[in-house]
Amino acid sequence: MHRPRPVFLLPAVLAMALALTPKDVAFHEGSIAFIGNSVTLGANASSPSKTFVSLVTSFIDERSSDEQRSDFLSFDPLTDPAAASEAMRHNRRFVIIEIGVHAAIDESISADQFRQLYGSILDCVIGDGTIVTAGTVPWLGWAAVTPTYERADLFSQIIAEEAAKRQVAVADLWSATKLRLNLISTAQDHTFLGVGHGDNFHPNDAGHAIIAETYEQALTAELALPPDRPFDRQCH
């Protein structure tokens, strides 16, 4: 299948493929949005085709009857809510969320604040016909006894709870990647972004593949029975 040309909407944006546009909803020209940070950007995959964004896009594309452009939104809705609200208020056919790593690392964000902020993000993207998949926090090499590990575990639970309240599918990245050192990049791994090698923090190709598989499992269930939600998007 022919791949679309990249679309540049924000300072760092990738473009992929997509489809399945309902006739009764006017969707934005980029009908799939990946919302996240450095992992969503592709760190530390060896090539763009090895990123979880590319793998998930191919998964959706193979199950689509048409081809449309998609957007990668590289910003942090938790720390830049104004930009996030503007970018997310457009109607999308698919929204894939990978948020929580920065909040787990930043001890100034309380669990209550994270719950409120994440719930606001979900309220801004769910709408009539939109398939939203919320990823829990991917494990990025933290030792099990550290505060960051405990916060990532807690925030993953919060993500699952807030998603359940809104009947949003959850990709449990935390359970899929937790304490699996073979999924973390090392200095021996080539990367297409940054300094060119792994950092013992971001996922390697195997890590991106597991993240993609976890999203695909959640998407499979959603595609089998798409959500029937009222069009009541709430962006603040």
Q: What is the pLDDT of residue 120?
A: 87
Give which of 172, 160, 184, 175 is closest to 216, Cα–Cα: 172
> Which residue did the predictor score with more confidence, 148 or 90?
148
What distances in angstroms separate CA 35 from CA 143, 223, 230, 235, one per listed residue? 26, 19, 22, 15
Q: How many CA atoms lie within 13 A of 134 on its CB side?
A: 27
pLDDT at 121 over 60: yes
Beta bridge partners of 30: 69
Q: Structural domains in the chain?
A: 17-224 (3.40.50.1110)
pLDDT at 216 over 80: yes
Instruction: Say how far apart CA 82 and CA 80 lie, in whole Å.
Output: 6
pTM of the predicted structure, to 2 decimals: 0.83
Average pLDDT score over residue span 35-63: 91
Per-residue model confidence as pLDDT tens digits over 195-212:
899 999 999 999 999 999
Beta bridge partners of 98: 36, 135
Q: What is the pLDDT of residue 221?
A: 87
Query: And the tokens for 88?
Result: 């997310």
